[in-house]
Structure 1
């Protein structure tokens, strides 16, 4: 499994990058997301809510920047730089904190769920699990 971590982390980062790019595109172009709307799931309500921006910056764009950064530090050459291990771990730590904030906003404030956002959250948590568990397996802890 450890040998597959670089490839899996790169693929997850690219998946997050593409999903965040779609969310960013729809945010800036006021396009409708491909998402059903019902009593619980309503992507448009979530992505146009007050919580869809943080300090005036769309969270979709923050996600795009986050996954672009992760994609670069998960490229094959980056795995040869030991210091980047800590950068990857710090990045996914920040990503997990952001997921907690955004999921809380969806459930507690907005009262709706965005499936596209949920995809980004799952990708972030999968990356965190992959990188942390890989780090623990290869460390002397």
Structure 2
């Protein structure tokens, strides 16, 4: 896969992530219950209302939105620093998502389809962004050219 193709896939996944995190950010600030397949008391509303939905007074959904916007910008920009920042952002996102998923299952005792979707997206992004970083050309060649085998 070329760097250009990787950037397109990362960009598309970033837009989906922006949609998910944007929706959860809206739900937080509008103070409405999220649409949830689980419904009732045990799903998204319980997770959204938990202490874990905030970090230092900032909604976790807003942090996710910022991460997905950063990942989209890194996919658009064709530079070494953008590859590094994208991989770092996605890897931190995976770690934070893993922690939040653990908290959701074992502390809150509820899961949220939106949160699990975001976690899945972040795992995919971490793999793609790391792949993009590791396959980057080292000799100053155009990054859209495939590396020799």
Same fold? TM cut 0.5:
yes
Aligned pairs for 1:46-65 (under 5 A) are: 46-65=47-66
Structure 1 residue ranges, 4+ long, deviating more than 4 angstroms after superposition: 38-41
Residue correspondence of structure 1 range 96-115 to structure 2 within 5 A = 96-115=94-113
Q: How does 1:6-85 map to 2 (within 5 A)?
A: 6-37=7-38, 42-75=43-76, 78-79=77-78, 81-85=79-83
Larger gyration radius, structure 1 or structure 2: 2
**Count of residues in correspondence between the two structures:** 137
Unpaired runs of at least 5, structure 2? 139-149
Distance 1:126 1:103, change over 3 A: same
Q: Distance in 2 between matches of 1:82 and 1:70?
A: 14
**C-alpha displacement of 1:129:** 0.9
Query: 1:101 Cα deviation (Å)?
Result: 1.2
Q: Distance in 1 between matches of 2:125 and 2:96?
A: 14
Rounded Cα–Cα distance in structure 2 between residues aligned with 1:65 and 1:98: 14
Unaligned regions of 5+ residues in structure 1, if any? Answer: none
Distance in 2 between residues matched to 1:37 and 1:89, nearest whole Å: 33
Q: 1:133 aligns with which of 102, 114, 131?
A: 131
Greater helix share, 1 or 2? 1
What is the aligned-residue RMSD (CA, Å)? 2.0
Q: CA deviation at 1:133?
A: 2.5
The answer for the alignment partner of 2:145 in structure 1 is: none
2:90 alignment partner in structure 1? 92
TM-score when normalising by structure 1: 0.88
Specify the SS of the correspondent of 1:35: coil
* 1:136 Cα deviation from its structure 2 partner: 3.1
